Structures are given as C-alpha cells and as structure tokens.
Amino acid sequence: MRTYDDGCAAAHALDLVGERWALLIVRELLLGPKRFADLRTGLPNASPDVLSRRLRGLEGTGVVRRRKLPPPAASWVYELTDWGLELEPAIVSLGRWGARSPTKPHDAELGVDSLVLSFRTMFDPHLADGLGASYELRLGEDRFRAVVANGHFEISRGNAERPDAIIETDPATLAALVYADRQLAEALRSGDMKIEGDESVVARFLDLFPLPEPANGA
C-alpha cells in the first residue's frame, strides 16, 4: 500500500481511502450492501480490475467487509463496517463543498445512489418547516423510503409503509426537477414522472434541496 509516511491522522486517513475510486465505493455502500455487479453499475467508469483491487484494499483496512447473503439469495455482497459507516459525514461535507465549485460540470450524469445521497447533503430544514410526510421513490428497479418530519430528513433503501406519496421516475428526471428548475406539471404531462398520493407533498419535497451558492473563483 502506498503511504504518505506522515504522522498526521488526516494523512493516515488518506492512506486508507485516498486511492482513486475508494471514497466512491464507500459512497455506493452508504445506503446498504451491494453485489460486485451493482457496484459496477454505480461506478461504470471503474474497470473491474481496479474495482476489485480497491475493494480488497478497503477490506484489508477494515472499512469494507464481504459476506454471503442467506438463501434464497445466497450471493456475495460488500458492505461497510461500522467504522466505514463513520465516513458518511466526510462524504456529505465533501459533496457540499464540491457543489460550490465554479468548475463543476453540470451535464454529468448522476447515478441513483449519488442522487439519493445528494438529498441528504443538500436538505435545508428551514424549507421543511411545517412539513411532515413520507415518500417512496421508485427509480427504475431501486426503491427508497424517505421521511420528512420536525425539520429532519431520512432516506434509506427499501419500500415505504403507507407513504403519503409514491414518486415513480428516472434519476435524470428527478435530478432535473430538484436541481435544474424543470417543472413538476410538465414532467407529469410528459409521463416522465408518475405520482400516487398527495401531489402537494411531492411539490414540497422537490423544493427541500437547494444548491449552495458557487464559491468565488481565484
């Protein structure tokens, strides 16, 4: 393993997760375990060989573990250890910091997990004042349950129980509605989004994640 050979704890942290793709693997596992094929889908620009090496390195340092699911699935998955899960605040902070970059490309595609985690990053509790609602997001084959209550926001993988609204769409459409000023009425008319339940709470949901102001470039 390459090392900075520096006694600083931050340098040691970079020794552990600073290799290319390592933190993005952590990002992909924050919402739960994934098979190798699922990680490849979430990180399509990482070659299988590089992805395998990074996973072995993260296993070796105790950030990630590999386990076999019980029958009938019986497949091998990767998941974060409890210590690995502690990286979430760092990734959220990096995401918020990176969103302010004046050179961030705005036409780059967001993966499903990237989009969902961006909601955790950008959630503004002031905009949720008075809102208490639960949602199920259906993004292709992926399902997420989200709850907004008392100025807090939680989202995790899985189906919601009796949600106030079910949102069915694709990641690109949802990203455009939240971050690119696409109008909800137009997305519904075109069929790019379908809603079951209370449309008004969906409209509120889409406004809860404002992007931060860009940083002043040097």
Per DSSP, the three-state class of 146 is strand
Instruction: Record the tokens describing residue 5, joined without a space.
Output: 């050979």
Query: For residue 137, what are the β-bridge partners?
Result: 144, 167
Taking the alpha carbons of 14, 17, 20, 23 in that order, is the dihedral positive or negative?
A: negative
- Fold agreement (9-86, 104-206): no
Query: Domain 104-206 is classified in which CATH homologous superfamily?
Result: SCP2 sterol-binding domain (3.30.1050.10)
pLDDT band at 217 (very low <50, low <70, confident <90, very high): low
Largest Cα–Cα distance of the chain, in whole Å? 58
**pLDDT tens readout for residues 50-77:** 999 999 999 999 999 999 988 887 799 9
Instruction: Record the tokens describing residue 140, joined without a space.
Output: 């292709």
Whether the predicted pLDDT of 83 surpasses 80: yes
Domain ranges within the chain, ordered by starting residue: 9-86, 104-206
Cα–chain-centroid distance for residue 68? 24
pLDDT band at 105 (very low <50, low <70, confident <90, very high): confident
Instruction: Record the tokens describing residue 147, joined without a space.
Output: 């709850």
Alpha-carbon distance of 86 to 91, in angstroms, equals 10
Tokens 């949602």 -> residue: 135
Per DSSP, the three-state class of 68 is strand
Q: Which amino acid is at 210?
A: P
Q: Does domain 9-86 have CATH number 1.10.10.10?
A: yes
The b/e string for 49-79 (b: 16+ C-beta within 10 A; e otherwise) is eebeebbebbeebebbeeeeeeeeeeeebbe
Whether the predicted pLDDT of 170 surpasses 80: yes
CA 7-20-211 angle, 5° bins: 100
Whether the predicted pLDDT of 119 surpasses 80: yes
